[in-house]
Structure 1
Amino acid sequence: MAEGALFDLAGNVINVLGSFIAEEIKLALGVKTEIENLKSRVSTIQAVLLDAEKRSSQNDVIKNWLGKLKDVLHDADDVLDDFSTEVLRRKVMSGNKMTKEVRIFFSSENQPAFCNKMGHEIKAISERLNAIEKEMMAYDFSRSLVEPQVMNRADRETYSFVLKDEVFGREHDKKKIMERLFDDSGEENISIIPIVGIGGLGKTTLAQLVYNDEDVQTKFEIKLWVCISDIFDVQRIIKEIVEQLTKRQHEGGLEILQNKLREELNGKKYLIILDDLWNEDGNKWRRLINLLMVGSRGSRIVVTTRSTKVAEITGATSPHELEGLVLEKAWPLFVKMAFKGGKEPENQILVALGKQIVGKCIGVPLAIRTIGSLLYGKTNVIEWQSFLDVKLSKIAQQQNDISSTLKLSYDHLPSHLKQCFAYCRLFPKDFRIDVNTLINLWIAQDFIVLEDPRQRFVDIGREYFMELLWRSFFQDVEIDVLDNIKSCKMHDLMHDLAILVSGMESAILNSSGENVIEKVHHVSFDLVDSSSQFSIPVANKRKIRTILAASVGGKLGNLTCDALISNLNYLRTLDLSCLGLHVVPHSIGELSHLRYLDLPENRDIVVLPDSITKLLNLQTLKLYRCSSLKELPQGLKKLVNLRHLDVSACTKLTHMPLGLGHLTSLEILTWFVVRRGGSKASSYSWYKKKQAESGGGLSELKELGNLGGSLFIRKLGHGEDDMVECKATNMNQKQHLQELKLSWNEEWDDGETECYDEMSLEGLQPHPNLKALELNNYMGVRIPSWVSSLTNLVKLILDENER
C-alpha cells in the first residue's frame, strides 16, 4: 500500500463509524457499543500512523505490524461497506426516506440475521485491532494527525508553464539534431539519428522540439511519431505507422501491413520518431528497419533511448549524447519552479542554497522540476538549509540515480495525493491516461474527500490532479478546445516510482497467469491471446477492489466474463472496455460494492441486465460506443449514487429511462435522447402514454442541477409539446455545464416548425458559464437573444447534420 494510504483508510473507517452512530437508525444496543469501541480504537491507532509509516522503511518489525494493520482496516472497511449498503437498500426500498421501517431495522426488538452477522464481524475486527493496539504500545510512536501541507490551487499564480512545457537549455542540442536532419552529404538515402541519455534528461522533449519545428513541417512530406517503450513488437509498430498514415484502423497480418506501408511511404521524404526504444535484439531491429527503407533520399529516423547499446544496434555511426544542463541553464528552470512569479529572490543566501540544491540534481530537468516545486513558496533560510543538509545529502553520492531524488517530492505529499499517484501504477508505461477517467477511478476508491457537501467530487478530483501535475508527477498533457486537460502521460521514472511506492498493493497481470500475486488489491491486465480463458491468479479474490482492462490485445468470452467476476465480493472498480462482449452477465448485480463500471466499445451489447439496478453504490457507468445498445434499464433511478453516466455514441438508444431526474447526484450525463413523439404527439395520446411508461421526457433534466462537462441532447422534436418540455429543463440553472449540443430530428411536418424550434431553443437557455454551443438540424430563422449573454463562449457551431 502507498505510504500514507493507511492514514486515509483509517480516516475513512472512522468517518463511516461516526455516520452510523449519528445516523437516524436505532442500532441494536450490542452493535452500537461495538461500533463505538471500534471507532475509538481506530482513532487511537490513526494518531501514530504518520510516524509509523516513516519508521517502517528502516524497521522490518514495524513494517510487518503495518501489514497486519492494513489487512484489518481493509476488512473493517469492507464490513462497514456491507453495513451501509444494506441501510441504503432499505432506504431505496422505502422511497429513499428514513421511514419507521428503516429506523427499527437495527433495533434491539428487531435483530434480523444480517444485523447479527454484522455485529459478530465488527466484534471480531475490534478484537483483532485490540491485539494490534497492544503491540503498538511497544514501539513508542509519536502521535500526530498533522500531514505535510500542499499549497492549494488558489496559491498558484498559474499552471501554464507546466502545460506549455517550457524548455530550458536545449537550444544547442536542437541545432545539432536539425543540422543532421538536413545534411544530405552522406551516402545513405535514409539515416538514423539516436538521442541517448539517462532518464529524465529530456530526450523526448528534445525530439518534440525538432518534430514541431517550422522547417521540419515544410521539408518533410510525412511526419510520424511512434512510442515504442518496453515491448518491441514489429507488427504492432508497423500497424501503428500504417494507421497514422491512413488515419483509419487496419487489421491483418504483417504481410498485409507491410504492403500497405510500402505503398504509403514509397518515394516520399519522411521523418519518423521512434521514442523510448529499449530493444537490444539486432534481428528484431533489422526486421523493422528493412520495412522502412522505402522513403526517398533525405528521409530520417530519430530514435530516443537510455541505452548506448540500443543506439549501436540501430547502426547509426554517431549518436547524439544528451547531457545534464549546466548550472547556467539549469538555474532559470529551478527559479521558475521554486520561486513565486518565477523571479530570483533578493535574498542571496537563498540563491546560494538554491544553486547548491540544483547541483545535487546533476542537471536532470525532471529532478530540477520536482525539487523546485517541492520548495515552492518556502522563504525560510533554515528550512532550505535543512532540506539541503538532511534530505539531499542522503542521495548526494547516487549519481545517475534520479529515483531517490524524485521520491523526495513524493515523500512530501499528503496521504490522499500519495495514494492517488500510487494508483497510477496500474497503467502501462507510455499509456495515455484520460484525466476524467482517472478522477472517476480515484472517486471509486474513496480517495477523494469533500470538505463541504456542496462541493462536487469531479472538481476536487481535478484539483488533486493539478497538484500532482504541478509537481511533474504527470507530463505531456493534451488540451481540448475548451482549454481543459483531456489526457496526460507519466514519465518512465515516475512510473517506476509508482511501482515502488505501491508495493504489493497493485499489479499488472497477464493472461498466462505467470505473475500470481498473494496480497494484491488492484490489478490491471492485458489479454494477449484472444483464445485464452483469463482469470485473476490471486489466492484470495475477495480482496480485489480494482480490475482494469488498461491494455487489451484480445477478446473476453461471455462465459469467461462471468467467471472473471465470480467471488469478487468487494470489487469497487471493473473495467471491461473493448473486450467484444455480447452480453453483460446477470451476476454483475451481485457486486454490491461496485462504484465504477466501464463497458465502452463493446459494440454487440443490445441490453443491460436488470440486475445492474441492484448496484446501489454505483457512481460511474460508462457505455461509450456500445453502438447496439437500444435502451437502459427501467429501474436506473434506483442508482441514487450515480454521478457519471456516459452513453455517448450509443446511436441506437431510443430514449432515456423514466425517473432519470431522481438521480440528483449526476455530475456528468453525456447524452440525453428525447423520447419519440415529435409534433404528432398531441394527436396520438395513446402513443404518448405508452412512451411515457418506458421513457422519460426532457423535464427529467429539471432537477439535475449538478450537471457539468458536455451534454448532448438528441432527437429534439419540432412540435408544440416539444417546446413546452424544453422550458421545463432548467438549463439556465446548470452553472457547471461547459458544452451544450442540441440536435433536432431530421423530419418535420408543417410550416410552424420554424416558430416551434425558435421557442424550444429559447426554453433551453443555458447558464452564462457555458463555453461551447452546437446546434444541429435547427429549423429556426432567429438565434435567441440569450446567446449574447454567454460571455464565456469560445465555440459556436451551426450545422444541418448531426456531428
Structure 2
Amino acid sequence: MAADLAGGAAVGAVFGELLSRVVEAGRTVAMFGDTWKELASTLSSIEPVIKQIESFNKVFDKEQETKQLVEIIGKGRKLVGKCCRIHSWDLIRKAYYVKKLQGLNKSIERFCLIDMQTHQMRDMKKMLVEIGRLSSKEGFSKVGDVVGSCKAPQPPEFVVGFDEPLNLLKMKLSKDGVSVIVVSGPGGSGKTTLVKKLCQDEHVKEKFDKNIFYIDVSKVPNLEVIVKRLLHVLDPSGVPEFQSVEDGLNQLKDKLEHLAMDCMLLVLDDVWSGCETLVDKLMFNLSNYKILVTSRFAFRRFDTYHLKPLDDDNAMTLFRHSAFMQNDKRRIPEDIVNKAMESCKGLPLALTVVGKSLCGQPVALWRKQAKQHSKGLSILHSNADLLAYLESSLDTLDSRSAIKDCFLDLGSFPENYRIPAAALIDMWVELYELDEDDAIINLNKLSDRNLINLVLIRKDDQSEVDDCYNDLFVTQHDLLRELAIYQGGLDPVDKRERIIVEVSGNNFPNWCLEGKKQQLGARLLSISTDETFSFSWGYIQAPEVEVLVFNFRTRNYMLPVFMEKMDKLKVLILMNNGIYQAELSNFWLLYSLSNLKRIRLEKVSVPSLNTSSSHLKGLRKISLVMCNISQAFEKGTNKMSDVFPNLSEIEIDYCDDLVELGEGLCVLVQLVKLSITNCHKLRTLPEGIGKLVNLDVLRLASCTELTTLPDTIGNLSRLTILDISDCLSITYMPARIGELYNLEKLYMRGCSGCNLPPTITNLQHLEEVICDEETAYQWESFQSYLTNLKTAEPETQRKKLYKAALMYLSFKGFIINQPVVCAEL
C-alpha cells in the first residue's frame, strides 16, 4: 500500500484521508480516546501546510521530498483500520496499539521537525548565497523586490463569480489580430483578481508557457523601471544598462523578436487614465505578442472587456464568506443579511470589506449597515455610498490610542508601496507620544480590521519580542489609501493635521505658489515627486511640522531650504523609490534642526556625518537602509560624539558598500542599540567596537562574509542581546565572549560552523539561545553550568511543528502574511 501511495496518490489527498479516518475513529472507537485526540490534533495542525507544500514541490520539482511522509501515511491508514477492529475488552492488544498510534504521531512530528527543517536549512543557505551574489549588483533591493521579478502573483484563495469573464478573456487572447486587451471596471470590482486567476489558468500557461510577464503599473508609471524589469527577465545574467528609455525599448524589442516563434503575454495591471502612451510604447509588431491591461478607466482605442458586478448568488457567497466565521451560531435575520449584501451592488471590494466589518458584530450594527448603500464607483470623492461604507470601518477606531490618526498617516507613502513598519513606528512614537509597543499594537489593530496587511519576511519570529521590526512591512489596498487621504483632507489646507502632496513634474498645488502664501498648521507633511521634478519647491511655510516625509525617484535630490524654519521637526524620512542610490544636496540643513530626533534614509549616498560644526543634540536614532555609507562614518573635522552627543540607536540594513566599519562610529560611547544587518560584504568589525560600553543590543544578522567577532567584544559588559544569525562565515566565538556577564539572549541560527569556547560557562545570565538543531548539540554540554538556559523556542511542540512547515514554505518562495483585504488586492 505504501508503495502504491508513493507512486500515485497526492500526499495532500492521502493525508486528508488519514485525518478523516482518525476523526471518525475518535467518534466510534472510544477505547483510544486520548490517543485519537492527540493524533487528530497533530494532523489538523499541519494539514493545510502539507497541501501547500505539495503544490510548491510540484512547481519546484521536489516531490520526492515528501515520499517518506507518504509512506508513513500509508502505514498509518493500515494501523487505524486495525485499531478500529479491536474489542473494548481486549486490554492487551489495546496497550500494544496505543504504543503503535503514539509511534505514528512521533513519526509524523519527526518528519516535519527534522526532515522539513533540513530542507529549510538547505534552501535558506542557497537563498543567502544568492542574496550575497545579487546584492553586489546595482538596482537590487530587499528580498523579493529585485528588478527582474515579473512573475504573476497568486490570486486570493477564495474567488467566486469569475468563470464567465475568465472564459471570455481566454477567447479574446486566442483571437488573431488583437494585440491589446483591456479589462476595465471600477475600483474594487476584481480586475486584478481576474487577471491573476487568468495567469494561473492551465490553458493559458500551456499557450504562453513561461512567457507571462506581470507588471504592477499604478498611478504614476516609471517606464524606465518597467523596461529594466522586462529586460532582466529576458536576460537574467545582469541588470540591463541603456543610454535612454528609447534605447531600452529598442533592446526590449530585439529580445522579444528573438522569441517571435513563442507566444508572449505582458500584463500591465492598474493603468490609469492618461497613461495610454505607456501601452503604445510597449506595443511591438509581433504576431504572437499580447498585452493585457487592467484599468479603472475605459481605453476606447483598444479591445475592452467591461467587468460587471457579481450576480446575487455569487455576491451572497462572497459576502457570507467574509461576514460569518466558521461554526458561527449567531442568527442574523435573513432580510438584514440580504439588505447588507444587496447594498454592496455586487462590488467584490465592498462585499469583502463590509462583510468583514460586520463579522462577529451585534445585530444593531448589522441593521445600521443594512440601511446604507454602495454603488461601487472607482473614485471615492464622487461615490458617497462606497465612501460611507469604507468610512464606517473606521468608526470603531479608538481615538484615545491615536489609532485613527495612525491609519490616516498611511497616505503619506506612495501607492502600491510596501511601507516599512520601522518608519511608521518612528513617526508615531514622536507624533503621538506612543512607545514602540503601542505603535505595534496599533498596526495589529489596523490589520485585524482589514485596513492594512502586515507582511512578514522575517526568518526568526522571536526578534519581534526584542523590538526588531526591520523585516515587517505594511501594504494597503489603493482604495483604503485613498480613504485615508480623503479623510485627512476634509479641513481647509491651513487647518489640516497632515498635508500629503503628490507632485508630477513641478505642478505643486495652488496654495504653495507665489502670491498665495499661507502658513500651514500641519504636524505631518509628505511630499512625493517623480523623476521629472526639478526642485522648484514653491513657497511652503510649515513651522508646526513634526514629521517630514520625502518620497522621490531622481538620482540627485536637493533638500528644500524651507526646512530651516521647521523648528519643531522631530522625524525626517527620505525614501528614494528609484533604481539607483541618490546623491543628496543641502544635507547641511539637517544640522539646523535642533529638535530632530529620528532620521531615516533609504537608497541614498550618505555624506560624512561629522563635518558640520553644528551639533544635533536632540538626535536619538539614525536608520540607513540600502544606502551607500562608505563616507558616512569616516573621520571628519569633528568628533562624531560631539556632533551627535545623545545618539542612542543606529540601524544599518542592506548597505552593500559596507566592507569595514570605521573607527569613527566607535566613539559614540552613548549608543544603546547598534544593528548592522544584511550587509553581505561586511568582513570585519573594528577593535574599537569594545568602546561602546553602553550597548544593550548588538545585531549583526545576515552579514554573510563577517568572519569573526573582535576580542574587544568582551568589553560590552551591559550587552543583553547579541544576534549573529546567518553570519555564515563565523567559525568561532572569541574567548572573551564569556565576559558578557549580562547577556540574556543569543541569536545564532544558521551558524552551524561556529565553535563555542569553554568560557561560555561564564554567561550565568544567559536565558535563551535561538539556534537550529545543528548548533543546539554544542550547547547541551554547557547546560549543566548554565542552569537557566533554554536552547529551544518557548513554544509548544505543535507550534514549532507548524512553524517549521511555514518556514519551509516561505523559503520555497511563498510569502506567509495576513489574508488579503479584498478581492482586487
Determine the structure 2 residue equivalent to 1:367. 350
Q: For this pair of structures, how many residues does the alignment match?
A: 572
Q: State the secondary structure of the residue aligned to 1:465.
A: helix
Give the deviation of 1:462 after TM superposition.
4.2
Matched residues in 2 for 1:438 and 1:646: separation? 20
Q: Helix, strand or coil for the counterpart of 1:542?
A: coil
SS in 1 for 2:318: helix
Deviation at 1:600, TM superposition (A): 2.7
- What's the offset of the Cα at 1:760? 9.4
- Is residue 2:317 matched to residue 1:301? no
Q: Which runs of 5+ in 1 are unaligned?
A: 1-162, 450-456, 679-690, 746-755, 797-803
1:325 aligns with 2:316: no
Deviation, 1:301, is 1.8
Contact 1:181 1:300 in 2 (8 A): no
The corresponding residue for 1:166 is 157
For 1:506, what is the secondary structure of its paired residue? Answer: strand
SS of equivalent to 2:220: coil
**What is the match of residue 621 of structure 1?**
651
Distance 1:288 1:785, change over 3 A: farther
Quick one: structure 1 residues 327 and 516, their matched pair in 2 at CA, closer, same or farther if it must change by over 3 Å? farther
* Equivalent in the alignment of 1:506: 525
Alignment partner, residue 274 of structure 2: 280
Out of 558, 570, 580, the residue aligned to residue 533 of structure 1 is 558
Pairwise CA distance, 1:631: 2.2
After TM superposition, the structure 1 = structure 2 runs for residues 220-239 of structure 1, keeping only pairs within 5 Å, are 220=208, 221-239=210-228
Q: CA deviation at 1:477?
A: 4.5
Match of 1:431 in 2: 417
What one-letter code is carried by the residue in structure 2 that aligns with 1:335? Answer: R
TM-superposed CA distance for 1:789, in Å, is: 5.5
SS of 2:479's partner is helix
**Identical residues among aligned pairs (%):** 19
Q: Shift of the alpha carbon at 1:496?
A: 1.3
1:522 corresponding residue in structure 2: 547
What letter is aligned with 1:506? L
Structure 1 position 322, deviation (Å): 1.9
1:260 — aligned with what?
A: 251
Q: Which residue of 1 aligns with 2:66?
A: none
* Structure 2 CA distance for partners of 1:474 and 1:243, relative to 1, 3 Å: farther
**Higher deviation after alignment, 251-260 or 193-202:** 251-260
- In the TM superposition, what is the alpha-carbon distance from 1:262 to its structure 2 partner? 2.8
Letter in 1 for 2:318: L
1:638 alignment counterpart = 670
1:212 aligned onto 2:195: no
Deviation readout 1:352-396 (Å, 9 max, x if unpaired): 3233222222233333333333333223x3343345458999x99
Distance verdict in 2 for CA 1:556–1:237, change over 3 Å: closer
Q: Secondary structure at the match of 1:711?
A: coil
Could you list the per-position Cα deviations for residues 687-737 of structure 1 after superposition, in whole angstroms to 9, with x for gaps in the alignment? xxxx65xx424x8498424x68x734466455xxx46445666999538x5
1:199 aligns with 2:187: yes
- The SS at the match of 1:742 is coil
Aligned with 2:749 (options 731, 735, 740): 740
Kept in 1, the 8 Å contact 2:343–2:374? The answer is yes
Q: Is the 8 A contact 2:693 2:718 kept in 1?
A: yes
Partner of 1:55: none
Write the mapping of 1:344-493 to structure 2, written as runs, cut at 5 A. 345-349=329-333, 351-379=334-362, 381-389=363-371, 402-415=386-399, 416-439=402-425, 441-443=427-429, 445=431, 448-449=434-435, 457=436, 461-475=439-453, 477=455, 486-493=472-479
Q: CA shift at 1:773, angstroms? A: 7.0
User: Conserved in 2, the CA contact under 8 Å of 1:644 and 1:669?
Assistant: yes
- Note the C-alpha offset of 1:333: 3.4
The question of whether the paired residues in 1 share the 8 Å contact of 2:576 and 2:582 is answered with no
SS, match of residue 657 in structure 2 = coil
Contact kept? 1:440, 1:620, Cα under 8 Å: no
TM-score of the pair, normalised by structure 1 = 0.60
Change (3 A) 1:441 1:726: same
Superposition deviation, residue 171 in structure 1: 3.1
Per the alignment, in what secondary structure is the counterpart of residue 319 of structure 2? Answer: helix
Q: 1:377 to 1:222 in 2, by over 3 A?
A: same
Q: State the distance in 1 between where 2:267 and 2:211 align.
A: 11
Task: Say which of 574, 594, 607 aligns to 1:549.
Answer: 574
Mapped to 1, the partners of 2:234 and 2:760 lie a distance apart of 42
Q: 1:175 to 1:471 in 2, by over 3 A?
A: same
Tell me if 1:670 matches 2:705: no
Residue 282 of structure 1, CA deviation = 4.7
Is the Cα–Cα contact under 8 Å of residues 213 and 265 in structure 2 kept in the other structure?
yes
How far apart, in 2, do the equivalents of 1:550 and 1:662 lie?
Answer: 30
User: 1:648 and 2:679 equivalent?
Assistant: yes
CA offsets 1:563-600 (integer angstroms, 9 cap, x no match): 3x143232333222222234235449833333442223
Whether the aligned pair in 1 keeps the contact of 2:527 and 2:549 (CA below 8 Å) is yes
Compute the displacement of 1:513 (Å): 1.2
Write the distance in 2 (CA, Å) between the matches of 1:263 and 1:731: 62
Partner of 1:26: none
Give the drift of 1:343: 4.7
CA contact (8 A) 2:745 2:768 kept: no
Q: Which residue does 2:725 correspond to in 1?
A: 711
Give TM-score, length-normalised by structure 2: 0.59
Structure 1 residue 571 corresponds to structure 2 residue 589: no
Flag the 1:782–1:342 CA change in 2: closer, same or farther, 3 A: closer
**CA positional deviation for 1:465:** 2.4
Q: What RMSD, in angstroms, separates the aligned Cα atoms of the two structures?
A: 4.6
Shift of 1:491: 1.6
Q: Assess, with a 3 A threshold, how the Cα gap between structure 1 residues 781 and 740 changes in structure 2: closer, same or farther.
A: closer
Deviation, structure 1 residue 302: 1.6
Give the counterpart of 1:611 among 640, 646, 654: 640
Q: 1:326 to 1:761 in 2, by over 3 A?
A: farther
SS in 2 for 1:243: helix
**Offset at residue 276 of structure 1 (A):** 0.9
Structure 2 equivalent of residue 590 of structure 1: 615
1:414 is displaced (CA, Å) by 1.7
Give the 3 Å change call, closer, same or farther, for CA 530–406 of structure 1 in structure 2: same
Q: Secondary structure at the match of 1:516?
A: coil
Instruction: Write the deviation string for residues 32-85 of structure 1: whole angstroms up to 9, x where unpaired.
Output: xxxxxxxxxxxxxxxxxxxxxxxxxxxxxxxxxxxxxxxxxxxxxxxxxxxxxx
C-alpha distance in structure 2 between counterparts of 1:625 and 1:492, whole Å: 30
SS of aligned partner of 2:646? coil
**Secondary structure at 1:228 match in 2:** strand
The superposition leaves residues 167-220 of structure 1 with CA deviations (integer Å, 9 ceiling, x where unpaired) of 33233255335523652x4235xx222111111222222222222344444432
CA distance 1:515–1:581, change in 2 (3 Å): same
1:602 maps to amino acid: C
Residues 278 and 307 in structure 1, CA contact (< 8 A), matched pair in contact too? yes
How far residue 561 of structure 1 moved from its aligned partner, in angstroms, is 1.4
Q: Which amino acid aligns with 2:198?
A: V
Instruction: Report if aligned partners of 1:660, 1:696 keep a CA contact under 8 Å in 2.
Output: no
Q: Distance in 2 between matches of 1:300 and 1:515?
A: 47
CA distance, structure 2, for counterparts of residue 171 and residue 243 of structure 1: 32
SS at match of 1:378: coil
Q: Which has the higher contact order (CA 8 A, sep 6+)?
A: 2
Summarize the Cα distance change of 1:492–1:716 in structure 2 as closer, same or farther, 3 Å threshold.
closer
Partner of 1:425, secondary structure, is helix
What's the counterpart of residue 696 of structure 1?
Answer: 713
Deviation at 1:653, TM superposition (A): 4.1
How far off is 1:278 after superposition?
0.9
Which residue identity lines up with residue 227 of structure 1 in the other structure?
Answer: D
Q: Which runs of 5+ in 2 are unaligned?
A: 1-153, 465-470, 489-497, 500-523, 530-534, 784-789, 809-825
Matched, 1:251 2:236: no
